[in-house]
């Protein structure tokens, strides 16, 4: 009887070990082979995951642009992207931002959903979230603006509505880790 009990405990332990191992393997994220990459341009240093890469920017003021690799189209533009821009401006920074978003509000496809002040790497910044429609595609955007040395910097995340929530963590990580030189 003792031998049967011992064998049963061994078999049950072995089965539980197998179940735990299979569960652990299944729980591993498909992104386990992702490494962090670094990009430095225009006074900014960012770290981003290797399933994102350099992409074409649609803005002439862009200093760098990255996109989720599987979202880059034939022209090199990412549909899920983060664009970094640097612009000269005159006058007060807040007035510049108010004028920028005042102009955007005139576009009927633009819908500002939130705005406020934030800190980026100990630098005072302004955050705007909004949606827009272009060529039948509705995108959500998150823009963070800050000023340094008389230049306006904006970090802009854009994605189709269906992909926004799944990828905004990359923008938030970069924002929390960005180095402003």
pTM above 0.85, yes or no: no
Q: How many structural domains is the chain composed of?
A: 2
How far CA 116 is from CA of 12, 97, 106, in Å, comes to 57, 12, 20
Considering the domain architecture, whether residues 99 and 158 belong to the same structural domain is answered as yes
pLDDT tens for each residue of 159-168: 999 999 999 9
**Alpha carbons 181 and 179: distance in angstroms, whole number:** 6
Considering the domain architecture, whether residues 65 and 119 belong to the same structural domain is answered as yes
Query: 41: which 2 tokens?
Result: 């341009």
Considering the domain architecture, whether residues 66 and 128 belong to the same structural domain is answered as yes
Considering the domain architecture, whether residues 164 and 99 belong to the same structural domain is answered as yes
pLDDT tens for each residue of 16-64: 334 433 333 333 345 567 899 999 999 899 999 999 999 999 888 999 9
Name the one residue in this structure whose structure tokens are 């963590």. Answer: 169
Considering the domain architecture, whether residues 130 and 85 belong to the same structural domain is answered as yes
Considering the domain architecture, whether residues 40 and 21 belong to the same structural domain is answered as no
**Alpha carbons 54 and 152: distance in angstroms, whole number:** 22
Considering the domain architecture, whether residues 51 and 106 belong to the same structural domain is answered as yes
């Amino acid at each position: 009887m003792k031998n049967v009990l011992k064998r049963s405990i061994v078999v049950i332990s072995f089965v539980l070990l197998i179940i735990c191992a299979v569960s652990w393997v299944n729980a591993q994220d498909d992104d386990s082979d992702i490494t962090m990459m670094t990009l430095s341009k225009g006074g900014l240093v960012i770290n981003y995951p290797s399933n994102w890469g350099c992409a074409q920017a649609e803005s002439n003021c862009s200093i760098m642009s990255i996109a989720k690799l599987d979202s880059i189209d034939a022209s090199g533009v990412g549909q899920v992207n983060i664009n970094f821009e640097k612009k000269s401006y005159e006058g007060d920074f807040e007035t510049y931002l108010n004028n920028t978003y005042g102009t955007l509000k005139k576009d009927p496809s633009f819908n500002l959903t939130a705005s406020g002040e934030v800190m980026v790497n100990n630098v005072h910044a302004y955050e705007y979230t909004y949606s827009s429609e272009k060529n039948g595609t509705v995108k959500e955007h998150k823009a963070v603006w800050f000023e340094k040395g008389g230049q306006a910097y904006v970090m802009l995340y854009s994605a189709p509505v269906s992909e926004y929530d799944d990828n905004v963590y990359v923008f938030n990580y970069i924002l929390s880790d960005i180095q402003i030189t």
